Amino acid sequence: MKKILCSMAFLLTTAAVSSAQQNYSDDHQINPHGERVLSKGMVAMDNSGIFVPYEFTRHAVGDNNILIEIMYSGICHSDIHHVHEDWKTESYPLVPGHEIAGWIVRIGKDVAKFKVGDYAGVGCLVNSCGSCEYCLADQEQYCETARVLTYGSPDVFHGGEMTQGGYSNNIVVSEDFAISIPEGADLTKVAPLLCAGITTYSPLMQIGVNAGDKVAIAGFGGLGHMAVQYAVALGAQVTVFDITEEKRQLALDMGASKYANVNDPQQMEGMKNYFNTIISTIPASYDVKMYVDMLAIDGSLAFVGLSANKDVPSIDIATLIFQGRRNLFCSQIGGIKETQEMLDYSVANGIYPMVEIIEPSRIEQAYKDVIDGKVHFRYVIDMSNLN
């Protein structure tokens, strides 16, 4: 039944796309191949968290570029960190958004992977050098010479102009950095997979989680609820750690075998040296030692969540040595090849985020709700309603 509903939603979306496709062609006759692309979006002009409508241009559709009309754009907690300048001084105007799903309305002459009308997604990366050891190993996210992020990043391939993200009606990207959205995908839910999905899938694959492993997910939000679903799909026994009682049933419904509220000491008992794997998606300060103490020997703790600079959690070397042999590592999103693999796997197995679709005018309130823990589990902006 679920599959039938998804297919119906897909058919409806396809019908909507056909008429949108017509409008787009009409609108953009004034902007032929080779000229900069007109875009409109929602922009932050400073770190206040206020968004206003904004018109701007993007670089032209180059020979290996595609122009995507954006249908949906997810709100990641990283967007909030960026807009609030939690990590660095940002360059404004800033159009955030690195969880992008849409359809292709124009392609450059050398594009081989896509055709007009295909569905495509974009995550956190839009370019890299292509020749360093990381790029050659399909780990473009670690490219040290020319990594270009989807927004707020100088685009060295286009004169150093700052990139602008997916809270907008379109994006131009090299075909090498676009992800093909598989046929039959639920388009309303695909966008968050491009960041929340890959960021949790990648370390689980890196660790090599096996059926029966004891896996903990710390922070049950946008990233965390994807991590739970992947770990459950791999056959792991999954425990969720969060700071609220409210999400307990949702975690169990997603297949977790246990949910512990870290603020209740009783719920934290009996887990010393217990877990083979812990993925921390926590976006705030927290007690790292508490998690290290719960790792079994040779267990792995992957950090993907990151707080504002002012309260980054830490742990000292002595504590780690006294605890013994444990693997701690950090992970950033995933490479393009792995992102495609994740998306194919997620769609084939019906693994999607729980989303709430919102209008562009609700971004400000959505940011507040994410910070207050009120979102279940990802806000996705319907970009077709951009005015």
> Which of positions 201-240 make contact with ligand NDP (CB under 6 A)?
218-224
The pair of structure tokens assigned to 128 is: 């890299």
- Judged by beta carbon distances under 5 to 8 A according to partner kind, the member of Zn ion, ligand NDP, none in contact with residue 181 is none
**For residue 318, how many other CB atoms are within 10 A of its CB?**
8
**Smallest distance, ligand NDP to C-beta of residue 314, A:** 14
How far is C-alpha 296 from the geometric centre of its chain's CA atoms?
29
CB atoms within 10 A of CB 109: 9
Which of 64, 180, 332, 384 lies at the binding interface for ligand NDP (CB under 6 A)? 332
Which of 107, 262, 294, 342: binder of ligand NDP (CB under 6 A)?
A: 262
Using CB under 6 A, pick the residue from 68, 76, 107, 125 that binds ligand NDP.
76
Interface with ligand NDP (CB under 6 A), residue from 77, 106, 147, 248: 77
**C-alpha span between 314 and 286 (Å, rounded):** 8
Query: Which residues does 181 contact at the CB level (< 8 Å), separation at least 6?
Result: 101, 118, 119, 120, 121, 187, 190, 343, 347
Give the CA distances from residue 237 to residues 198, 212, 291, in Å, rounded to whole numbers and listed in that order. 21, 6, 17
Binding mask 299-318 for ligand NDP (x = CB under 6 A): -----xxx------------
Q: Is 76 in the site for Zn ion (CB under 5 A)?
A: yes
Give the one residue of 108, 165, 166, 283 binding ligand NDP; rule: CB under 6 A.
Answer: 283
367 binds, among Zn ion, ligand NDP, none (CB under 5 to 8 A by kind): none
Which is nearer to ligand NDP, 17 or 370 (by Cβ)? 370
CB of 199 to Zn ion, least distance (A): 7
Q: CB of residue 82 vs Zn ion: minimum separation in angstroms?
A: 10
Sign of the dihedral defined by the CA atoms of residues 271, 233, 341, 336, in that order:
negative
Residues forming a β-bridge with 66: 107, 173
78 counts as binding Zn ion under rule CB under 5 A = yes
Q: Are 220 and 246 contacting, i.e. CB atoms less than 8 angstroms apart?
A: no
Q: Residue count at the site for Zn ion (CB under 5 A)?
A: 3
Task: Please list the residues that pair with 180 across neighbouring strands.
Answer: 120
**Binding residues for ligand NDP (CB under 6 A):** 76-78, 81, 195, 199, 218-224, 241-244, 262, 281-284, 286, 304-306, 331-333, 370, 373
